[in-house]
Structure formats: C-alpha cells, structure tokens
Chains A and B, each alone.
Chain A
C-alpha cells in the first residue's frame, strides 16, 4: 500500500521539483528600481514576495523571496526562469496556460503550454491533489499582482 501511494506521490514530487525547491533560481532581492508584490495563501500561511524590473514592455529582471512548501518554491523558481525577458502579453498567456495545467487535463488541452515551456509540466501532478493547486499558482498570482500594480495577492 505504501509503495503504490509512494509511486503516485513521486508523480507530484518529481526529482526536478524537489531540486528547484531546494535550490531555487532567482531567489533573493533585486536592487532598485523595481516593483514588488506580496502573495499570501491564508489557508496555510505561505508567503512570497515577487520583485521585477521592466524595460519598456519587457520583464528585464525578476526575483522572489519568502517561505513555503516544496510546490510553491519550485513553482516560483521555474516561473521566474520562464518569464524572464517576456513581454506582458506573453506573460499573461503563460499565466493562463499554467493555471489551466494545474486545474485539469481538459483545461490544459484547451490552453496548452508552449513547447519551450514544457518543463512546467511537472506541476500537472497537483491536479490529483486539489488542496495543493493554490501552492503552485500562488507565485503566478503574485507576479500578476506586480504587473497590475497591486500590492498583494491572495489565493482565496
């Protein structure tokens, strides 16, 4: 019984996800000028700060800090890697595709990830754990809050 459950859990906690959570990319703070927002998951107390600097319409630099579970840290790490250099419109599109990916197979087929962002597919595993979807999407909601000039984002 343990073996079966462990095998299913390994689909969620893949090595690359655990690796990103333990060695996150872009973890830290930017030097000014930059903008930032804080994201909260009131359900579990996770908090994250996303900072970014834009040049014209492009996301020139991005960093995050905070504390949370493996899923939220890995998601923030991969998100910051993915959106660096993107325009706002590209960021919005990726936000939509990522959210769809976490929600279900049908949604993911309707709004697929672009081929070059297939590494984000490791978060498809959260679909089986509805309580954890918000852990994966919190960094993305926080990123959107910075872009929309809001100070905070929440998953509730």
Chain B
C-alpha cells in the first residue's frame, strides 16, 4: 500500500518558504524563483498552457484549468488501482479504498480540519449546500430563521428558498453595500432567538469581495446559530483553516481548485454531523438493512450514498497535497500583484467602469463593464482576440441587482496567469471600447 500512496501522491518538491516580507515585491519574471519552483515552471504544471493556441484564461472563478498532478493521479488510479471502494474483499478494492481515504485525509489537512471524518465527499459546493439543507434543514421548525447574505451565488440561496418553502421557515437577508461588501453591523440586528443558520460566502464569485466570515461566524454562534460558509471562491486564494474560522460547515468544489469537475467536499463540525440524519439513501451509507428499516453509518459515510467519483476524489486530494507543498503566501502575493495591475489598468481606461471593493479587500476576481456595449458583446470581442472572461449575472443576480446591475464582464485569475495576461486584458478591453464607441 505504501507504494500506492506514493504513486498517487506527488512527493513534496518544495518546502514552504517564509512569507514574503514586502507585499510590494513583484514576482513576474518567468525565471524568478518562488521557493523551489519558478514562475515559468509553475505554469508548466498546467498542461493546457502547453497548447500553442491557449487563450488568455481569465475565467478561473467559473472553473480553473487543471493541474498536472491531479490529471496524473486520476490516470494512475484508473490504470492501476481501480475498483469500487469500501466493498470488495480483494486487494484491488483495498488499494482503491486506501487511495480514496488518503484523499480525504489530504483534504482534511488542506482545510486544517481536526479529523478526516469531518470531510464528506460531494459533487461540488452546490451538492454540499443541498446536503446541509436536506439533512440539517429538515430538522428545522416552522418559524425558524435562516440568514443568507445578498452576495451569494445562487447555490447558497436557492436551496434555502426551497427549504424555507418546505419547512415554513423565514429567510432574512444580510444586505451588501454599494461596493459589494458585507458589514458586521448589518448582521447584528438580524440575529435572534429563532436564527438557526447563517449561510454566507467567504469570497464573492461576482465581485471578489473577501467577507468577514470569521467575525460573522463568531457572532452567529454567540446567538446560538450554526454557520455554513461557501468556500468555493476562497480555497483557491486564501489559506483556509476551518478551525480558525469557527463555522460549522465549509463547502468547496474541486473544479475551481485546479482539480477535476464532479468532486468537492463539505467539512462539517464533527459533533454537528453526528446529529444529522441521512439526506440520500442507498448503498455505502448503511450498516444494516431489512425491508422495514435500516441502520445508518456514522459520518462521513452516512452522507455518501452510492459509488462516489473515486478517481476525481483521489485527484482532488493530490491537488490539495501539491498546493500545500507550494509557497502559498508568496504565490498569493504574486497573483495579487497581477490582479492589482489589471484592476489598475482597467480603472484608468476611459469608458470602463470597475465594480467592487477594490484590490485590498478582494480575492483576484473583479467585475467591470464598458460604456457603449453590453458585456456579452464585449466578451465576443475579447474571445475573438484570445481572451476568455465570463459575462452575465454570474449566478449571483441579487448581488448584481443590489449594485443596480444586470450583467457584467468578470475577470478572475489563477496560479497560471502572469502580468502579460493582465496587460493583454486591459489592452483588449480598451480596443473593444474603441470598437463599440458610438
């Protein structure tokens, strides 16, 4: 088994470097060192960019390009170690199970969870949130209240709307300001004796805002409520410690973290998960079944009915492990510099409006528009010039509406981007503004 874990887990190539002392320092030259890797060799870890027709990819907040380490882990599992998990009495199934459970431990370490039994594999963030709504939510009583922020992706709003309808609950909304920020002072009056849950994002998918999630979680828990944080946009950019955040649930998707689609995870506080009933029935989540009734497994198996996406889970674990070997603080500073450059250039371009809280309070994602064209027309222009951005409402219609917007263009950055990408974006947007000028 030891050689298996070696073959699906990359051996650490770099020790975490000391955090960069000066945030002003930029690391953009291709040959520049970041710990044991260079900027250029880091980009090489994402096979898509070896394609000579690779676009300037600025849609990582929607879905990121894939890290080699995850693709290799997936390939290796399918080719050499694949069988169903937790079922077979034979060696191959034991290998598959070991790789799958190793991935759970890798993810637990990545999130700084106390125990890997607190990690539940899901298809992604959306399914993780629906799991909480479909299990914990069904124990709520008519009149109970859930607080949802206005900044949410639809996946952290619609499941609560559906639950509220089923259980006759009341939804209360934590409003954002004109720069897409959440103020703790606005949360306080919403918390009350009937508050059962606060559901909020850690980083806004549409505007990039980093929210005061830890402070909000402390306030909600003081009021006796549980806290669910959507971490889909946060895990690629922030070093997340669920222990420090102090929430009860943390959800994220693999596909935004350079890993395959179809896999994600829900971290749940152990003692809370223990009290929750199953949400889907099937194989793997039971201990004993008779025609009349069944006994359920303890978490996490209780919440993992059916055969999971095994290779995808192993790939996600491998990517988390790999990310932990990189000097993440240094990379974060570097990416923030690239983001700041794009933000600065676009903000200074005539006919361009940039939204949100500004670079200091944001992860490397921002929304903008040009004066004389709808964002879809802008996106077609950018696409024709090899720049991929997302346009539309970004599955966050209430957040856009709060800023008086229906649609925006959104640029979001990943580990593979560089300063040239930021400059290319700005230059192409300026050309588009000119092309569509009335």
Contacts and interface: CB of A to CB of B under 8 A. Distances in A.
Interface of A: 1-2, 5-6, 8-9, 12-13, 18, 22, 43-46, 67-71, 129, 131-132, 135
A10 to B, nearest CB: 8
A18 B435 CA distance: 11
Given A9-B384, A45-B393, A45-B406, A71 B435 contact: no
A45 B407 CA distance: 8
B78 interface: no
B380 A44 contact: no
B174 interface: no
Interface residues of B, number: 19
A12 B436 contact: no
19 contacts: A2-B385, A6-B431, A9-B380, A13-B377, A13-B435, A13-B436, A18-B436, A22-B438, A44-B376, A44-B392, A44-B393, A45-B397, A45-B407, A46-B376, A69-B375, A69-B377, A131-B380, A132-B376, A132-B380
Contacts of A2: 385, 431
Interface in B358-384: 373-377, 380-381, 384
A35 B300 CA distance: 54
B435 A69 contact: no
Contacts, number: 48
A44 B384 contact: no
Contacts of A5: 384-385
Contact of A6 (B375, B397, B407, B435): B435
A12 B374 CA distance: 15
The main secondary structure of chain A at its interface with chain B is helix
Nearest to B397: A45
Contacts of B149: none
B96 interface: no
A135 B374 CA distance: 12
A134 B385 CA distance: 22
Interface of B: 373-377, 380-381, 384-385, 391-393, 397, 406-407, 431, 435-436, 438
B209 to A, nearest CB: 20
A9 B381 CA distance: 7
Contacts of B373: 70
Contacts of B374: 68-70
Given A2-B431, A5-B384, A6-B435, A44 B377 contact: no
Contacts of A1: 385
Nearest to A45: B393
Contacts of A135: 376
A71 B377 CA distance: 8
Contacts of A44: 376, 391-393, 407
Contacts of A131: 380
A71 B376 CA distance: 9
Given A69-B374, A70-B377, A43 B384 contact: no
Contact of B376 (A6, A8, A18, A69): A69
Given A68-B374, A69-B376, 12 more contacts: A1-B385, A5-B384, A8-B384, A13-B435, A13-B436, A44-B376, A44-B391, A44-B393, A44-B407, A45-B392, A71-B377, A132-B380
A67 B393 CA distance: 13
Contacts of A46: 376
Nearest to A129: B380
Contacts of B381: 9
Contacts of B431: 2, 6
A13 B435 CA distance: 9
A138 B418 CA distance: 38
B435 A43 contact: no
Nearest to B372: A22
Contacts of B438: 22
Nearest to B427: A2
Contacts of A70: 373-374, 377, 436
B357 to A, nearest CB: 23
B406 A67 contact: yes
Contacts of B392: 43-45
B385 to A, nearest CB: 5
A68 B391 CA distance: 12
Contacts of B377: 13, 69-71
B111 to A, nearest CB: 33
A46 B406 CA distance: 9
Nearest to A4: B384
Contacts of A8: 384
B299 to A, nearest CB: 35
Contacts of B384: 5, 8-9
